[in-house]
A and B are shown apart, each in its own frame.
Chain A
Amino acid sequence: GENVEQHPSTLSVQEGDSAVIKCTYSDSASNYFPWYKQELGKRPQLIIDIRSNVGEKKDQRIAVTLNKTAKHFSLHITETQPEDSAVYFCAARGRDDKIIFGKGTRLHILP
């Protein structure tokens, strides 16, 4: 089945700087890669997703890139703001339609 690895587990960046979170997946047939943001005590919320027929997608300060050959995908947040502090999860949907999550990255935005 699918296995998703996520790095780093914790990331601290100065407000205004960029943050990058990286994930790798194991199932070459995986076709859908969402990213979720979870604030303390809240549910995970989808912030951006990308499908395997696309290499890059951008939504304002957030972008995701996908390298199918290397089986890795990344989340980029530019001009970080205090409200970006949260836990971010990457995920991949494998050939069996299961959606498997990485272990999460705790992002701290420093003033």
Chain B
Amino acid sequence: NAGVMQNPRHLVRRRGQEARLRCSPMKGHSHVYWYRQLPEEGLKFMVYLQKENIIDESGMPKERFSAEFPKEGPSILRIQQVVRGDSAAYFCASSPLRQEAFSGANVLTFGAGSRLTVL
């Protein structure tokens, strides 16, 4: 079981460029969460998706940020026209189906994170 896979691990972009972060959930997990972590700070919820459906994007800035989880392939967090304030670690986490909530399974498993630096 490869766990939650994120890439790239490190990404450097200049202001105005686009950043694309990818996340493949754990095998058997159908839901993906994205969190942003600024240095020395907590995990801020951004968006929660299942395949082909955004369940909740209330934590995501309305402009420049978008997320998708297509039928085939990884979930992608896209940041357009990056600014210095976007520099952060972006963590993806995956979880199983809702009805497994009361099983013994680990509900939320994190990837290693993608560290975005905007110059």
Contacts and interface: CB of A to CB of B under 8 A. Distances in A.
Interface in B76-119: 91, 93, 95, 98, 101-102, 106-113
Contacts of A108: none
Contacts, number: 58
Contacts of B107: 32, 34, 49, 93, 99
Interface residues of A, number: 25
Interface stretch (B14-22, B42-50, B65-73): B42-50
B42 A43 contact: no
B91 A43 contact: yes
Interface residues of B, number: 26
Contacts of A99: 33, 45, 93, 95, 107-108
22 contacts: A32-B107, A34-B107, A42-B112, A43-B111, A43-B113, A44-B43, A44-B91, A45-B110, A53-B102, A89-B42, A93-B101, A96-B56, A97-B55, A98-B48, A99-B33, A99-B95, A101-B42, A101-B44, A101-B45, A103-B42, A104-B41, A104-B43
Interface of B: 31, 33, 35, 41-45, 48, 55-56, 58, 91, 93, 95, 98, 101-102, 106-113
Interface of A: 1, 31-32, 34, 36, 42-46, 49, 51, 53, 89, 91, 93, 96-104
